[in-house]
């Protein structure tokens, strides 16, 4: 046929062979990528401060706690991360009744960690479930312990028993956790805050204010009594000091007058006439002034001295 086309069967055969080669190469690359994807998706890194729990068909088969690169079996095993460090769990607030029938709202927190990841995963499954179970135990223990105390014993800062109470609660919660094989350890349980229900706050505050005012008045009375005692002791000591000082002054004055009299006697004994004259003149100072009228016998010592007769 003039318009017919001649097909080279050898060339067509070669093209089919090349196409099959490219197809096989593509499939091989895809398979390789899938294998590499599976390998890389099942590689995992264990970081510092965490556990990796390897589970196979729901059962825990391995716990990895050392940092590094690890591999799990594809499609069969799963890896779950658990914290290795200490955690803080803020326990939900709860209302309890004290021994004296008062209602209080307790706010707690707990510090805890996973001690046995296998037990924890087997019995609790997750961190959230572990905290929920721990919260139940803490509430039960706190309610029991605080139910044996009066309200004042709980809130009194000076005579508070919270220190021993925190230790007791921590120990009891740990005993419950250990009993049920939960694989976690509670390091510390603390009462963060105690509040009153709103309807009880006003009456308690008034009673507390009254008690504080009574205590303040007692301190004031004790202070006044101490002040009066100090004042009385001081007044007594002042009187004793003044009496002693006055007695010492009288003694010194008497000794001085005695010494002066001795000196006078020694001085005047050396000239008796001068002494008589001096005594007479001294008496004039006391008895004679500008308006004095004296009537004396002519032979009296005063008259003889005034008239100039001196023996």
Separation between Cα atoms, residue 189 and residue 145, nearest integer Å: 13
In a domain, 206, yes or no: no
On whether both 130 and 152 belong to a single domain, the answer is yes
On whether both 33 and 137 belong to a single domain, the answer is no
On whether both 95 and 68 belong to a single domain, the answer is no
The total number of structural domains in the chain stands at 3
On whether both 61 and 109 belong to a single domain, the answer is no
In a domain, 245, yes or no: no
Check residue 9 and report its DSSP letter.
H
Of 173, 201, 229, the residue that ends a domain is 201
Which of 190, 138, 141 is closest to 166 using CA atoms? 190
In a domain, 94, yes or no: yes
In a domain, 229, yes or no: no
Segments forming the whole domain that contains residue 286:
271-306
On whether both 15 and 29 belong to a single domain, the answer is yes
Q: Which residues of 24-40 are buried (b: 16+ CB within 10 A; e: fewer)?
A: eeeeeeeeeeeeeeeee
Across the chain, the runs of DSSP E, i.e. the strands, are 43-46, 50-56, 59-64, 68-71, 77-83, 87-90, 94-97, 103-114, 184-195
The DSSP result for 207-237, as a single string, is HHHHHHHHHHHHHHHHHHHHHHHHHHHHHHH
On whether both 102 and 139 belong to a single domain, the answer is yes
- Entry pTM: 0.53
What CATH number is given to the structural domain containing 170? 3.30.479.30
The torsion angle over the Cα atoms of residues 52, 57, 61 and 66, rounded to 10 degrees, is -10
On whether both 78 and 99 belong to a single domain, the answer is no
- Say how far residue 179 (Cα) sits from the centre of its chain: 35
Contact 125, 173 (CB under 8 A): no
End-to-end CA distance of the chain: 209
Q: What is the pLDDT along the chain (311 residues), one digit of tens a residue?
A: 445 555 555 665 666 666 777 777 778 888 888 877 777 777 888 888 899 988 888 788 888 888 888 888 888 888 888 999 999 999 988 888 888 888 888 889 999 999 999 999 989 989 999 999 999 999 999 999 888 888 777 766 555 555 578 888 999 999 999 999 999 999 999 888 877 776 666 666 777 788 888 889 989 999 999 999 999 999 999 999 999 999 889 889 888 888 887 887 777 677 677 777 777 777 777 676 667 676 777 777 666 766 666 55
- Say how far residue 203 (Cα) sits from the centre of its chain: 28
- Say how far residue 122 (Cα) sits from the centre of its chain: 41
Which of 155, 44, 142, 57 is closest to 92 using CA atoms? 142
Separation between Cα atoms, residue 275 and residue 264, nearest integer Å: 10
In a domain, 232, yes or no: no
In a domain, 41, yes or no: yes
In a domain, 311, yes or no: no
Q: Which two tokens stand for residue 190?
A: 């603390």
On whether both 113 and 171 belong to a single domain, the answer is yes
Of 36, 58, 83, the residue that ends a domain is 83
On whether both 137 and 68 belong to a single domain, the answer is no
On whether both 91 and 186 belong to a single domain, the answer is yes
Of 62, 83, 104, the residue that ends a domain is 83
In a domain, 260, yes or no: no
On whether both 46 and 116 belong to a single domain, the answer is no
Q: Which two tokens stand for residue 209?
A: 């204010």
């Amino acid at each position: 046929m003039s318009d017919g086309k001649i097909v080279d069967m050898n060339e067509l055969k070669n093209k089919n062979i090349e196409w099959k080669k490219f197809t096989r190469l593509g499939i091989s690359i895809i398979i390789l990528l899938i294998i590499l994807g599976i390998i890389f998706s099942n590689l995992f890194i264990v970081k510092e401060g965490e556990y990796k729990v390897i589970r196979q068909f729901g059962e825990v088969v391995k716990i990895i706690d050392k940092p590094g690169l690890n591999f799990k079996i594809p499609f069969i095993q799963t890896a779950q991360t658990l914290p290795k460090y200490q955690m803080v769990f803020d326990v939900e607030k709860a209302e309890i009744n004290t021994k004296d029938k008062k209602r209080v709202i307790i706010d707690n927190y707990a510090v805890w960690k996973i001690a046995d990841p296998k037990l924890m995963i087997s019995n609790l499954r997750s961190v959230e479930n572990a905290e929920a179970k721990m919260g139940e135990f803490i509430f039960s223990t706190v309610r029991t312990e605080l139910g044996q105390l009066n309200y004042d014993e709980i809130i009194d800062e000076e005579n508070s028993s919270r220190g021993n109470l925190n230790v007791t609660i921590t120990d009891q919660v740990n005993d419950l956790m250990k009993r049920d094989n939960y694989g976690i350890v509670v390091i510390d349980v603390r009462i963060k805050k105690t509040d009153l229900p709103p309807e009880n706050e006003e009456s308690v505050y008034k009673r507390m204010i009254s008690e504080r005012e009574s205590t303040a008045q007692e301190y004031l009375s004790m202070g006044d009594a101490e002040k009066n005692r100090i004042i009385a002791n001081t007044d007594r000591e002042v009187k004793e000091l003044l009496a002693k000082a006055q007695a010492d002054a009288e003694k010194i004055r008497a000794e001085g007058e005695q010494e002066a009299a001795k000196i006078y006697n020694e001085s005047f004994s050396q000239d008796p006439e001068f002494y008589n004259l001096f005594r007479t003149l001294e008496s004039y100072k006391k008895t004679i002034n500008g308006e004095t009228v004296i009537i004396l016998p002519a032979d009296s010592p005063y008259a003889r001295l005034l008239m100039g007769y001196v023996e």
